[in-house]
Amino acid sequence: MEYLTIAIPKGRLFEPSRELLVSVGLASEEVSQDTRRMVFELEEKGVRLVVMRAQDVPTYVERGTCDIGIVGKDVLVEQRPQVYELLDLKFGFCRVVLAAPRGREQDPSGHRLTPVRVATKLPRIAGEYFASRGLHPELISLHGSVEVAPQVGLSDMIVDIVATGRTLAENDLVIVDEIMKSTARLVANRVSFRMKSSRIKSMLSVLEKVLEEVDVR
C-alpha cells in the first residue's frame, strides 16, 4: 500500500492531534514529541507520521513531502501556503491579540497608545492589522517568547497568540485588541488530494464523524 504521510505539529497542538489520530487508528501510542525520533510508520495502516515544528507544517505539505498536515489557522493566515484546507479540527483554540504592558496601553486621556515598535512572530498578520488602521509601526520579528520584548525595551507592544492567558498575565501584559481567532486545521497537498483522493476522503469522513460526536457531547 502506498504510504499516506501526515505532518504533526509539536507544541500545543501535538497532544490533541495525536489523540485524534489514535482515535481513528491512524497513529499509535508510541508517537511522541519527547524523543529524537521524528518519523513513525504504521506499516499495517500505510501511514507515516512526521513530527515537526508547527511553523514548518505548511512547507512540508505545500511541497508534497507530506500529503496531509495539522496546523493552526493562525499559521495558515500568516504563511498562506498553497494547500487545501479540509477541516476545522476544533481543538487548539487561541486568539491572536495586540497586547501591551499593563498601564502603558493608554495615554492619560484614555486613548489607546499608538505603538512605534511591535514585536511578533506573526509579522504578516500584524502588518495587515495595523495597515488596515492606517498605522505602520516598526515590526520586529521574533521566533518565540515574544512576551519578554516590552519588558526589556525591545518593543512597545506585541502581537502574539493567547490560549489560556497565563503567559500574558505572568509578564504583566494586557490585551488591547483581538485580531483573529484560531483553531487547528487539517490541510492537504493539492496533488496528493487528487492522487490519493480515496484515502484522504475516507480519512476526512471518519474525522468528521469523530468531530461531530465531540460536538454532540
Site residues (vs ligand PRP, CB under 6 A): 11-12, 144-147, 160-167
CB of 163 vs ligand PRP, minimal distance in Å: 3
Nearer to ligand PRP, 14 or 40 (CB): 14
- Locate 144 and state its grid cell: 518565540
Nearer to ligand PRP, 87 or 175 (CB): 175
**Measured distance CA(51)–CA(53) in Å, rounded:** 7
CB of 208 vs ligand PRP, minimal distance in Å: 27
Residue 192 sits at φ, ψ, to 5 deg, of -55, -40
Nearer to ligand PRP, 117 or 190 (CB): 117
Nearer to ligand PRP, 126 or 200 (CB): 126
CB of 103 vs ligand PRP, minimal distance in Å: 20
Through-space distance between the first and last CA atoms of the chain, rounded to whole angstroms: 36
CB of 35 vs ligand PRP, minimal distance in Å: 19
How far out from the chain centre does Cα 201 lie? 23
Nearer to ligand PRP, 12 or 104 (CB): 12
CB of 169 vs ligand PRP, minimal distance in Å: 8
CB of 134 vs ligand PRP, minimal distance in Å: 27
C-beta separation of 41 from 28 below 8 A? no
From start to end of the chain, where are the E strands?
4-9, 39-42, 47-52, 68-72, 84-88, 94-101, 117-120, 138-141, 157-162, 173-182, 184-188
CB atoms within 10 A of CB 217: 5
Give the CB-side neighbour count of residue 58, counting CA atoms within 13 A.
17
Nearer to ligand PRP, 142 or 187 (CB): 142
- Residue 32's nearest CA partner among 46, 43, 47, 22 is 22
